[in-house]
Amino acid sequence: MPANDYDARTAFLGEWGRFQRAVFLLLCSSTIPNGFTGLSVVFLGDTPPHRCLVPERLNISAQWRSVSIPVEERGGAARLSRCARYRLDVIKSYSDQGYVPWVDVNVSEIEREGCVDGWEYSREMYASTIVTEWDLVCDDDWKTPMTSSIFFCGVLTGSFLSGQLSDRFGRKIVLFLTMALQTVFTLIQVFSPSWPWFCALFFVVGMGQISNYVAAFVLGTEILSPSVRVLFSTVGVNIFFSLGYMVLPLMAYFIRSWRMLLLALTLPGFFYIPLWWYIPESPRWLISQGRIKEAEAIVREAAKRNRVTAPDVIFQPNQFGNQAEKLQTHNLCDLVRSTNIRSITGMLCIVWTTLSIGYFALSLNTSNLHGNAYLNCFLSAAVEVPAYILSWLMFRYWPRRLCLFSTLFQGGAVLLLIHLIPQNMSGIAITLEMLGKFGVTAAFSIVYAITAELYPTVLRNTALGACSMASRVGSISAPYFIYLGSYYRSLPYILMGSLSVCSGLLSLLLPESLGMPLPETISQMQTTMGCKKRQKFTPETSTSTNGVEVTGTL
């Protein structure tokens, strides 16, 4: 069967009937929890202002208590130390003798000690976070970025497994299995007794978090009609993801305890159970597995819901091309089996990794920006909406490589400018960071689309899972990019900007897929031609010149 024959044989369904609208909305809505679950650590793991605790039980005068914490220069300003205090036994002795600090005693000469009695945390912003509950500060401050990295290690593992499982057992079952995994283990996470338990459960949540997103993306791409795929993959799933992301700071603003916030973010996941009876399996995938009768049954049910008459024979088994290849079991090794597919996979993995570093580092950094953390997080989510709309418009009219290059280059160039902004002009720096997030977000949307267009049905979910898995190397390291900012404020932006610009140039070497049919088998994949303009398919090779565009998201 020619690569575009499925679209031709199902064209009688129409473009935007009741069936397509239902699938569109249900699959898009399934990505909402991904928006607030994947980035909840922004508030769950935020570190509020803190200093060493000076126990009330010590009978120290108010004067001595006020100078018991050393003053250090941090961020260009004098601030109270977070991890040290003057020795309290010495201060107690001076207080009992009636000495006056800075008059009778040079306080700065008193020996210092660590926070042996714990820490005192500001409650102005949070009632509790995992940092305040388990004291993830000072010598244990490495545990905070490690928490996010463990989550993304789970995402990496889920990407590795879910892509192959989806291509082996179907899109629908993997979609609902990973949604259940994310919801149930997030609920258990609410009752975490310690930081190691929290991280272990967070790892499992990560396994389901991106996996159900990729499964929903591929399922919609393969079910929906050609003209709707672009809308679904860019404006659809992406904006619903952003809606979930925008809900996060709103809920965090009203719920300041991390356990209650996590519980509130978990409960919506149970409302998706009934969707099992309304979301069908991908007919394309069923055909690739030789299950033509099941695929035809789904299409006939769609025709019934759209109130159109289906032909007597929709799919003819002997017209499905290289059926032996479709029935063959494929795995990750097929992504590097030939020089051509190996080159495509390598370039896409590099681009995905760079985008993951930029997207998650900028998203997780919102609580460290000047101003209100809740507002900054909301702005970081809201800026994604116009980015997705722009990526949709670009994808409709621009060559794919130009779309990816321009957004990557714009995002990287803007981030490189941040280190030139003086510290007292924080408003301009935040604006530039949001513009960088805009470019990176649009590029992430586009790279999903390009990946889905370049790989065939028999490998599409495996390829997306593999690229997503490669990108987890970036997301795992993203928290430490932020951590580098504690040593040099502009270093994270310089690194992210440089990587984005270089990846943008690399993306020009990918094949151009504008106007090409969605490949069904490996033999129908395009070959890399560097920056040279490819020759268009002749009518004998393909009867489709437009309307087969697909796009993607985070």
Q: What would you report as the CA-atom Rg of the chain, rounded to the nearest whole angstrom?
A: 27
| Total Cβ atoms within 10 A of residue 43 | 27
Number of residues assigned to the chain:
554
What residue spans of 255-398 are helical by DSSP H? 258-266, 283-288, 292-306, 323-327, 339-364, 373-382, 384-397
d(CA 383, CA 378): 9
CB–CB of 53/84 below 8 Å?
Answer: no
DSSP 269-309: GGGGGGGGGTSPPPHHHHHHTT-HHHHHHHHHHHHHHHT-P
- Determine the Cα angle at 280 with ends 277 and 282, to 5°: 160
| Total Cβ atoms within 10 A of residue 260 | 15
pLDDT recorded at residue 185: 92
d(CA 121, CA 486): 20
DSSP 8-state assignment for residue 187? H
All structural domains of the chain:
5-46+142-329+355-522 (1.20.1250.20), 50-121 (no CATH)
pLDDT recorded at residue 129: 92
| Total Cβ atoms within 10 A of residue 545 | 14
pLDDT recorded at residue 260: 93
What is the torsional sign of CA 255, 256, 260, 262?
Answer: positive
CB–CB of 414/492 below 8 Å?
Answer: no
pLDDT recorded at residue 141: 85
CB–CB of 430/369 below 8 Å?
Answer: yes
pLDDT recorded at residue 131: 92
pLDDT recorded at residue 13: 77
The segments of the chain whose pLDDT lies below 70 read 1-4, 74-76, 163, 316-334, 336, 367-369, 371, 423-424, 457, 461, 486-487, 515, 517-518, 520-521, 523-554
- Kindly report the average pLDDT of the chain as a whole number: 80
DSSP 6-63: HHHHTGGG-SS-HHHHHHHHHHHHTTHHHHHHTTTHHHHT----EEE---TTS---HH
pLDDT recorded at residue 202: 92
CB–CB of 301/280 below 8 Å?
Answer: yes
pLDDT recorded at residue 38: 76
